[in-house]
């Protein structure tokens, strides 16, 4: 090495050393922070934050007669909340209501409402009037019957209107008409979005977009109302074994609704945006932080095409 090159090397050696040292220290601090945060969320949890003594007597759950909604109603009742069940079928509401009262010994109230309509909210507001509401679970939602190209969706205009009314309008209206008004420096609103709202999902485009709205809307409101002591959480599950997902058998990555809800409630107050369940959180990190968007989009398209082909083949055979 020439004397000039050696001099240059010596001049930059110390700055490069300190740059490397600071970078390594920063990465170490970030890694330790993430590990400690993960331990707090997924191992310690939030204790008994979600309880009637902390938040308020009543919990309101929409889409409460099946799947995740029913599991929320049952788990919140088990924690001592009185439950308002809101869903379309009065017969199913009565069945779930009686089962919860018998099993958990709490008071229940039912409101039959079809969220595909927009003239239901005065009825819901009347039904909630005078209640000390501590928790609202906006769970009601619909998806596609099968993955399909946007312009090929049957009855497209009606489909879009229904999807928007059920998946988007319900979330906005239930906040604006009542719940945020009655919260007094405490309360939790859990908006059930979907992992499909974390990135575009081809062939489920309207559903994916509607769930992305729920996620962004929830996080924006959390920023607005955090200082007032109100928790607004965006919940983004991957597949759960429910009728909506058409998954019958629970597995580690596709838990039962009961397993998912028990895990998710322990993240309330700790995460404003959550996948709710450790395996789902890992899947969320991999799909958003590690996989390039182009590869993920191509994979999702291929999976959608495969599911579409199977569905159409079955329809022809039937």
Task: State the Cα torsion 180-52-66-192 to the nearest 10°.
Answer: 40
Given a contact cutoff of 8 angstroms between Cβ atoms, the answer to whether 252 and 60 are in contact is: no
- Look up residue 36 and give its two tokens: 């400690």
Whole-number Å distance between alpha carbons of 252 and 239: 11
Helix axes 205-225, 156-164, angle to 10 degrees: 20
The catalytically annotated residue of 72, 144, 146, 207 is 207
Distances (CA, A) of 251 to 42, 115, 196, 282: 18, 31, 19, 15
Q: How far is CA 276 from CA 160, 243, 247, 308, 317, in A?
A: 28, 19, 18, 28, 39
Q: Is residue 207 annotated as a catalytic residue, yes or no? A: yes
Phi and psi at 242, nearest 5°, equal: -135, 170
Query: Buried (b) or exposed (e) across 129-152, using 16+ Cβ within 10 A?
Result: eebebbbbbbbbbbbbebbbeeee
3-class secondary-structure state, position 153: coil
Report whether 209 contacts 194 (CB < 8 A). no
Q: Are 96 and 70 in contact (CB under 8 A)?
A: yes
- 197 and 285 Cβ atoms separated by less than 8 Å: no
Catalytic residue numbers?
207
């Amino acid at each position: 090495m020439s004397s000039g090159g050696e001099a240059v090397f010596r001049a930059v050696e110390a700055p490069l050393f300190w740059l490397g040292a600071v970078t390594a220290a920063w990465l170490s601090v970030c890694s330790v922070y993430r590990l400690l945060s993960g331990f707090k969320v997924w191992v310690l949890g939030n204790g008994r934050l979600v309880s009637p003594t902390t938040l308020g007597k009543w919990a309101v759950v929409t889409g409460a007669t099946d799947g995740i909604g029913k599991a929320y109603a049952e788990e919140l009742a088990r924690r001592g909340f009185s439950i308002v069940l809101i869903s379309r079928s009065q017969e199913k509401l009565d069945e779930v209501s009686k089962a919860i009262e018998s099993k958990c010994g709490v008071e229940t109230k039912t409101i039959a409402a079809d969220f595909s309509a927009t003239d239901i909210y005065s009825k819901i507001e009347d039904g909630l009037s005078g209640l000390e509401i501590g928790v609202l679970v906006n769970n009601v939602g619909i998806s596609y019957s099968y993955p399909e190209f946007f312009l090929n969706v049957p009855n497209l205009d009606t489909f879009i209107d229904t999807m928007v009314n059920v998946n988007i309008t319900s979330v906005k209206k239930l906040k604006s008409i009542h719940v945020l008004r009655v919260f007094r420096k405490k309360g939790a609103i859990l908006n059930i979005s979907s992992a499909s709202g974390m990135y575009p999902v081809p062939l489920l485009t309207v559903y994916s977009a509607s769930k992305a709205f729920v996620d962004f809307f929830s996080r924006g409101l959390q920023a607005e109302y955090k200082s007032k002591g109100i928790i607004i959480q965006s919940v983004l599950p991957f597949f759960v074994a429910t009728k909506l997902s058409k998954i019958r058998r629970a597995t580690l990555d596709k838990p039962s609704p009961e397993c998912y809800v028990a895990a998710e409630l322990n993240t309330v107050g700790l995460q404003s945006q959550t996948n709710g369940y450790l395996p789902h959180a890992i899947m969320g990190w991999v799909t958003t932080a590690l996989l390039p968007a182009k590869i993920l989009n191509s994979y999702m398209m291929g999976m959608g095409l495969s599911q579409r082909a199977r569905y159409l083949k079955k329809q022809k055979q039937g």
